[in-house]
Structure formats: C-alpha cells, structure tokens
Amino acid sequence: MMARTTTLLFCLLLSSALLLTGTAHAEDVSGTLCVSAYEDANRSTTRESGEKTLVDIHISLLNDAKVIVANHILTDELPYCFRGLPPAAYYIQIGSPQYESVEATPISLTVTAGVEMTREFPAALRPAILTSTESILYLPATVPVRLALSALGAALAMGLFAGAGLVLYGVLFHRRGMNWQELEDAPHEESEVLSPVEDDLPVLTRVQRAPPRPTPAAEDDSESESFGSQYDVPK
C-alpha cells in the first residue's frame, strides 16, 4: 500500500513538472523589444548626463523584408514595448518633425525568444536651415495638433457651405422681389373707381353700377318734340 502511494505521488509530480516545462516553453516562443529615444545634443551616440528623454517620437518596427509591422508614438518618458514578437531580425526606424536619428536608419536588431530587449535611440535637433522639401510651418504631428487641424477643417467646410447657401438664398430672394415689384408697377386695365363709401364695403357687396339712363319724362319730351317737328303744319 505504501509503495502504491509513493508511485502515485511520483507520477503526479512528474506530470506537474512536464506541464510547467511545456507552459514555460510555450511562453518563450516570442520575444519583447522595448524602445525609447533621448536627445543626443553632441551626436556622440552615447547617452551622457543631462540628456533628456524625448517624447512625440514616431517609432516604426520593420520585419526582415523591411515592411512595417507595427508603429507607435512615444507619449511619455517610459519605454514602449513591442510584445509577442517571433524570434527574428527586425529593423527600427525613428522619425520626428523636430528631431532626426543620429544613427543611420533603419537600425537592425535581433529578437530572441523569451528575452526582453531594451534599446535607447539617440536623436538630435534638425538643422536650423530647412531644405526646399520641408516647410517652415510644419507642425509636430501630435494628438492635440491633429485634433486642432481636424476641428479647423470642419469649421472651414461648414463656413463654406453656409456662405454658398446664403449666396443662393440672396439670388433667389432678390429675383422674387423683382418679380413682385414688376407686378405691382404694371398698369391695371379697366380698374373701377369706387366711392369712399363703397370702398369700405366688402368685395362681395360691391356691385358695378350701370351708366345712368334718361328718365321717362325726358324720353317723352324728346319723342313729342321730334313728332311735332315732323307733322307741324306750316303757317
């Protein structure tokens, strides 16, 4: 009974050891590369006392075929780590509107399985005299600058559309006003002149008056005069 218990414990310990070994082996199949940048004022490629850590530096990770597989912008002074990298040869390329790499880029590095590598890259300010392909008004491509440029572009687009709408509305409104003015200025034919009393009455109660007709007495007098003139006996 004692021998059976000892054998069982030995098997359990062996299984646990194999499991831990397999887990460790599985975790060691990838490597980690941590990168940062510092200001190398004297371009000595060696960090000296007083040389500060740089931010807003764009880091690009390239594979052996020099194809970008990952990138990151340093936003603080802590190194940024590219994790889960298969063991292979890689290249690092850094860039910034204000700083340039002191070393020739891209820089070749080799990632080893289960190893975390940390590397600091020296960078120095770009020359004060800009080349013809660079702009003096070039701004750092930071997150606040990108947001500000996006907001400025949106405001300009809204202003452009609003101005176009106002111009179109002004043209249509001016043309409509001219048409109404022409209708008001056009002469009205056969307009009826109403007396002040009739002008106050509703439109439906207005009755166009016929021209006055002669009275019956006047008609009789005119007929009698004409009849008498025809049959008057000469004296």
CATH, residue 122: 2.60.40.10
Number of domains in the chain: 2
How far is it, in rounded angstroms, from Cα 132 to Cα 130? 7
106: left (phi over 0), alpha (psi -120 to 50) or beta: beta
Shared domain for 155 and 71, answered yes or no, is: no
Shared domain for 47 and 108, answered yes or no, is: yes
Per-residue pLDDT of the chain (235 residues; tens, 9 = 90+): 555 555 655 555 666 655 555 544 445 589 999 999 999 989 999 999 999 999 999 999 999 999 999 999 999 899 999 999 999 999 999 988 899 999 988 999 999 999 999 999 999 998 874 444 444 455 555 667 778 888 899 999 999 888 888 888 777 776 666 665 565 665 555 445 555 555 555 544 444 555 566 555 544 555 545 445 444 545 4
Element (H, E) at 60: strand 58-62
Shared domain for 75 and 152, answered yes or no, is: no
Whole-structure pTM over 0.75, yes or no? no
